Structure 1
Amino acid sequence: MQASPRHAPDLSRLHHSRGALAHSVALSTWRRAFEVRTADATIAPALRVGAATALVLVIGGLLGHGNLAGFAALGALTAAFGRYEPYPRLARKTGLVGVALVVFVAGGALLGAAGLSLWLQIAVMAVASGIAAWLLAAFRIAGPGPVILIFAATAAVGYSTRLADLGPAVVAVATGVVVGWLAAMAPCLFVPLGPARLAVARALAAVAQLERAHDASAIAAARKAIDNARDVIAHSGRGRDGHSHQLFALLAEADTVVDRWAHERDHDTLRALVDHESELRKVKRRSDLQAFDVEAAALPKPAGFLAEGLRGLRSREGIVNAARIAAAAALAGWICVAVGLEHPLWASMGAMAAMQGFNFSQTVQRGIQRLVGNVAGAVLAAGLIAAAMGYWQTVVVIVVLQTVTELVVIKNYAFASVAITPMALLLTGLGSAVAPDIAVSRVVDTLVGVVVGVIVSAVAISRTDHHHVA
């Protein structure tokens, strides 16, 4: 009797993972990691975050609680989330981030007071890393990312040695959250439709590209920008002055031009539309757009923030990604403990930060940028720490570094990491004395975290993820 042929094992996933790892060390990949993207409207958000950070650090110093001011500064980073969001939605998103920061600091303080072994601390923080990533992804909250929640929790673990330390840490971070939330929402009083105006201006800029690039990608980009602007207007509230209706009508006209562009290039109408871009970028409550049919522009009803978030929490993709991040964070931390490194939780954060990309290509880019930025930032941090600055000098430097971070983070994360590294170490130094050699630990732990994060991402890469294939 003839034996049935044995089926060959399916090695497609192995080949896919091997190709992903090859992509991570390719020269072209590293070269792309240092490309500088264009970014607009960066100054105002950066100044708001810098002002919120400065305020809480000054208050902490004046009250004689400089050791707690670092927690308040982390709370103030609430202002860095949800950049360019319409204010009604921004209020909910930054509010959720603020509540999460308080919860994570409280959890970290309890963990520190419990006196668990470092191995167990890493396991708990790894699970927290997955939860943080899962939560922010589900509610589509853009900004510094879940790593801020874990950094705050890690700081609380190091600060808390007894249960009595829980209250001061929570009060400090909650104070910072309130200040950060108010800083983020303050422009709503003066330019309530500011995010909507900016989104429409960006849509018009994308439409303007049709005259320079005649391919299908330019049309697709214009449609995407118009759809995004519609979403922002819908979530901006129904303005009593009718300006939101005018903005929506302007988008309807732009949509018509884009739809017809493939077979009817109406340059005159396009240029008339694009002329409104510079006006919409001005910091004004409204602009005169009476030329557009307001009555025809019916505003859509926006989807509920809570309903969307709850659907996101049930997303299989989000749950799987959270599990990957938790595994990488635990593995990176345990490796550092095994080899005797001093700050294994930093390695866990490094793995988590590297894995914040939407696909493997972005994960690698983020990892490269974080690693190289950390090396340069560590050199700067060592010099600043060696200068033995007083509290107020340190506050000035932290505020400057935070503002610079917000100015450049959209352009290239590597540049932001150069500022983030010394800022994080100086914030750590507000609660306890640190030596310049802590910068070396930061680089080594980050290296372990990034390498582990990239390897785990490659091993667990989705079969549908081909963004890294040129």
Structure 2
Amino acid sequence: MGKHAKPSGKSAHHAPGSVVRARPLPVRSAVRLRRPIDIWHKPALSAVVALAIPDLTLWALGRLDLILYTSAGAMCALYAHGLPYAARARTLPWVVLGMVASLGIALTAASLITSTALLVVCASLVAAVHKVVCEATRIGPPGNIILTFIAASAFFVPQHAGQVPLHLALALGAGVLAWLVCMAPALIRPQGPERIVVARALEAAAGLLRTEAGTGGGEPAGVPHARHATAAAVNAAWHTLFLVPVHTAAKAAARVGLERLLVRAESALGDAIEASAEDAPRDARFAGAGAEADRLGGWARELRSGRPLPEVALSASQAEELAGVAAEEPGPRRPAPGQPRGVRAVLTRLAPGSPLLPIGARVAAGCALAGWASMAVGVGHPYWAVVTAASIYQANTTLSWQRALQRTLGNLLGLLLYTALLPLMHLGPPAMIALALACQLGAEAGITRNYWLGSVCVTPMALLLTEFGSPVPATTLIADRWIDTVVGAAVGLACCVLVTNRRAADRIEVALGRVAAAEAVACRLLAAGPATGADEARDIGWARERLTGCLVELREAVEVAAGEWWQRALPEERIAHAEQRGHRALAGLVRRLSAPALAA
């Protein structure tokens, strides 16, 4: 994000608010392919199964016109795959209820409102709510776009009030099926999600050690990035383990085993931070880093393969901390006190002054204008323009520009693919169902590499859903889709540029204050001397987790603000000093728990 919009060295020294400058919008990085995420196949296969069962049932009943409603519930199978199964079981019902509620609003509006322009406004407001709520809850991929796609489509489906209950029942039933499909892997690998997230932390720590060992002095650009990636991975892993309940001795032992591995990964983070000090001897800086990186990578592979947890040696302080955790009452491990959780955390992120509110305003304004522009040019599917505009809004202008470019490119290629598939579609409903499922699988396989690649498959799948409900001549469908894509991307991006997010820089000031407060707590604990018992070790662990979270939040706030094309100069020196001090304090906490040095 920020690497495309870093300020020049001259402007970096100006006080906040003294300089406002425009930043270039990148092109090459927008279309570059990345490595796919490690679990892309899980949501892909879950969605295929959850969609296939109701689709085939409707085909057997001769009611493929109802496929939009069952798809609404079935697409919920794309969510919550990064959560442990206990948390997933609680989260997915909220996703399904959110989907059904959005669908209910859309269908009710469709049955009562005859003005297309007013329906566009309603769809835009619902899209804005989807965006801010999904960001506030941090639900993760695919975020708001699936909810908005289904709801926006439903606003323009011919509907009678008496049909709404049946259609909602179909969506709810498919949502229950999606819940069952997503929970089914727990019967085979009940610890799969938490093992994967700990493996990611181990791999990130190994990457940091290799980066540090490969440098020849100083601190090159790759080290801060690797350090942030490791801190973020470790922070995400701790939060995941916080969600894992223990009701039996076996589950408690399994969770403690994963925590021992995570503590070891965090120790590598602390060692790398300390080793990067300017007065650290070169030999001490590089000694054993390669061997430790190989060891962490090997443990990560064992976690992913499902093998028994490896035995990990910990220091006395680390053992005290985990022993204190194990002595707590059964249930999810408690994070640091004073941090809002659950509904309180969501409401805090949506409070007045939240940086999410300008994004919601962008979505509402951009979607409404895009829908009206689509109507003005005579397109028969204005909700496509609404969905396109909603899909491009990201955390800042730079990312929104990239998403607009990706969406346009992907839809164009997707229309070419749809044209090529037309002969197969004429083979009948079974072929259309098979193509839709294949496109769903392809979309999930490609979208983690780049959004435009996933859009190549999303586009024909969306057109196929339209064909199930009310067939339209292919030439009209393709032309409408292309016009709506261009209109939605252009109008949505224009609103993104005009509705600036000045609160992005304010978020940095808040994050700097939180880092300073967390660092002060850490320094007091470090000055108090080494931990002598489980309570002291737990306090150090809580301080470490809080400081890690604050550092990750600061870096995210900086990258979001740096991606705004029209923004005042960022306090680069204050940010750099805060991160340096924070990471040094974090290293002290980690090394305090790790001392003496860990044995292999």
> Structure 1 length normalisation: TM-score?
0.89
State the match for 1:282 in structure 2: 305
Greater CA drift, 274-283 or 40-49: 40-49
Q: CA deviation at 1:14?
A: 12
Write the mapping of 1:340-379 to structure 2, written as runs, cut at 5 A.
Answer: 340-355=378-393, 357-379=394-416
Q: CA deviation at 1:391?
A: 1.2
> Taking structure 1 as reference, are residues 431 and 14 closer, same or farther at Cα in structure 2, changes over 3 Å only?
farther
8 Å Cα contact 2:119-2:156 kept in structure 1: no
Distance 2:19 2:488 in 1: 23
* Matching residue's letter, 1:360: T
State the match for 2:191 in structure 1: 193
Once the two structures are superposed, residues 312-362 of structure 1 have per-residue CA deviations (whole angstroms, 9 ceiling, x without a partner) of 33262222211220011011111122232222221111111011x122221
* Matching residue's letter, 1:255: E
Greater CA drift, 448-457 or 302-311: 302-311
How much identity, in percent, do the aligned residues show?
27
State the match for 2:257 in structure 1: 246
Of 329, 332, 352, the match for 2:367: 329
Mapped pair 1:31 → 2:28: yes
> Taking structure 1 as reference, are residues 218 and 152 closer, same or farther at Cα in structure 2, changes over 3 Å only?
closer
State the match for 2:355 in structure 1: 317
Mapped pair 1:225 → 2:233: yes
State the match for 2:562 in structure 1: 466
Q: CA deviation at 1:58?
A: 1.2
Matched length:
449
Distance 1:127 1:44 in 2: 31
Write the mapping of 1:34-433 to structure 2, written as runs, cut at 5 A.
Answer: 34-38=31-35, 39-214=37-212, 215-238=223-246, 240=248, 241=250, 242-261=253-272, 262-263=274-275, 264-265=285-286, 266-267=288-289, 268-283=291-306, 286-289=308-311, 291=313, 296-297=321-322, 298-299=324-325, 300-302=333-335, 304-314=341-351, 316-355=354-393, 357-385=394-422, 387-433=425-471
Distance 2:70 2:311 in 1: 43
Distance 1:14 1:327 in 2: 28
Distance 2:43 2:145 in 1: 20
* Matching residue's letter, 2:491: V
Once the two structures are superposed, residues 232-261 of structure 1 have per-residue CA deviations (whole angstroms, 9 ceiling, x without a partner) of 111122363211111111111221222122
Q: CA deviation at 1:98?
A: 0.7
Give the CA RMSD over aligned residues.
2.4
> Taking structure 1 as reference, are residues 407 and 445 closer, same or farther at Cα in structure 2, changes over 3 Å only?
same
* Matching residue's letter, 1:351: A
> Taking structure 1 as reference, are residues 14 and 52 closer, same or farther at Cα in structure 2, changes over 3 Å only?
farther
* Matching residue's letter, 1:273: L
Distance 1:379 1:176 in 2: 31
Distance 1:179 1:98 in 2: 10
> Taking structure 1 as reference, are residues 239 and 444 closer, same or farther at Cα in structure 2, changes over 3 Å only?
farther
State the match for 1:6 in structure 2: none
8 Å Cα contact 1:193-1:236 kept in structure 2: no
Greater CA drift, 109-118 or 196-205: 109-118
Q: CA deviation at 1:296?
A: 4.1
Report the 3-state secondary structure (helix = DSSP H, G, I; strand = E; otherwise coil) of the residue aligned with 1:158. coil
Report the 3-state secondary structure (helix = DSSP H, G, I; strand = E; otherwise coil) of the residue aligned with 2:461. helix
> Taking structure 1 as reference, are residues 369 and 198 closer, same or farther at Cα in structure 2, changes over 3 Å only?
same
Q: CA deviation at 1:301?
A: 0.8
* Matching residue's letter, 1:301: R
8 Å Cα contact 1:68-1:168 kept in structure 2: no
Distance 2:143 2:135 in 1: 9
> Taking structure 1 as reference, are residues 392 and 14 closer, same or farther at Cα in structure 2, changes over 3 Å only?
farther
* Matching residue's letter, 2:301: S
Distance 1:70 1:289 in 2: 50
Distance 1:378 1:291 in 2: 56
> Taking structure 1 as reference, are residues 117 and 216 closer, same or farther at Cα in structure 2, changes over 3 Å only?
closer
Structure 2 residue ranges without an equivalent (≥5):
1-16, 213-222, 276-284, 326-332, 506-560, 566-600
* Matching residue's letter, 1:91: A
Report the 3-state secondary structure (helix = DSSP H, G, I; strand = E; otherwise coil) of the residue aligned with 1:159. coil
Distance 1:185 1:314 in 2: 33
Q: CA deviation at 1:468?
A: 5.8
8 Å Cα contact 1:381-1:436 kept in structure 2: no
State the match for 1:8 in structure 2: none
* Matching residue's letter, 1:448: V
Q: CA deviation at 1:412?
A: 0.7
Q: CA deviation at 1:13?
A: 11
State the match for 1:9 in structure 2: none
Distance 1:147 1:372 in 2: 18
Q: CA deviation at 1:69?
A: 2.0
Once the two structures are superposed, residues 51-102 of structure 1 have per-residue CA deviations (whole angstroms, 9 ceiling, x without a partner) of 1111121122223321112321231111111232222332333222211111
> Taking structure 1 as reference, are residues 380 and 458 closer, same or farther at Cα in structure 2, changes over 3 Å only?
same
8 Å Cα contact 1:405-1:416 kept in structure 2: yes
8 Å Cα contact 1:85-1:232 kept in structure 2: yes
Structure 1 residue ranges without an equivalent (≥5):
1-11
Greater CA drift, 47-56 or 421-430: 47-56
State the match for 1:456 in structure 2: 495
Distance 2:199 2:300 in 1: 5
> Structure 2 length normalisation: TM-score?
0.71
